[in-house]
Amino acid sequence: MRLPKSVLAVFPVLFFIGLLLGNLFFFKTQEQGQKLYAQHCASCHMEKGEGLANLIPPLAEADWLAQNPEKVACIIRYGQTGEVRVNGKTYNHPMPANLQLSDTEIHNITNFILSNFGNKVSKRTFEQITKDLRTCH
């Protein structure tokens, strides 16, 4: 099939619009994660994820996150009680649930903390997050 030149000229334009939308989407999800972190997490885990003394474990450069990325979604939704060991220190203080957050919001917060505060843990896909959330107990 032969297309007129004027029609062909549209393809690069569409390609760049596609790139632009892709980037906007990336920054939007990253930005939503950051905003939600500030609203729902920073009061305890602090602005840079450093945690607080013996009460709140750090998220910054946290070995726990690198070892348990599949548990983050459940902790965000249902909170957590009992002992947890992070970077060689034991914490035992309840973290409250966030039942109002949607799967998408939890996805964005999870990826925000996995790839910020000095963490370089692979991001989780939305499918992985919904699967993680089905296995909470």
Q: Which stretch, 7-15, 25-33, 88-96, 117-125, contacts ligand HEC (CB under 6 A)?
A: 88-96
E-strand ranges in the chain read 84-86, 89-91
Report how far residue 88's alpha carbon sits from residue 96's, in angstroms, rounded to the nearest whole number. Answer: 23
Q: What is the CA radius of gyration of the chain?
A: 19
* Cβ count within 10 A of residue 21: 10
We find the least distance from the C-beta atom of residue 28 to ligand HEC, in angstroms, to be 19
- The answer to whether 54 and 91 are in contact (CB under 8 A) is yes
- Residue whose CB is less far from ligand HEC, 71 or 130: 71
Residue 74 lies near ligand HEC (rule: CB under 6 A):
no
List interacting residues with ligand HEC (CB under 6 A): 40-41, 43-45, 56-59, 62, 64-65, 72, 75-76, 80-82, 84, 86, 91-93, 95-96, 98, 109, 113
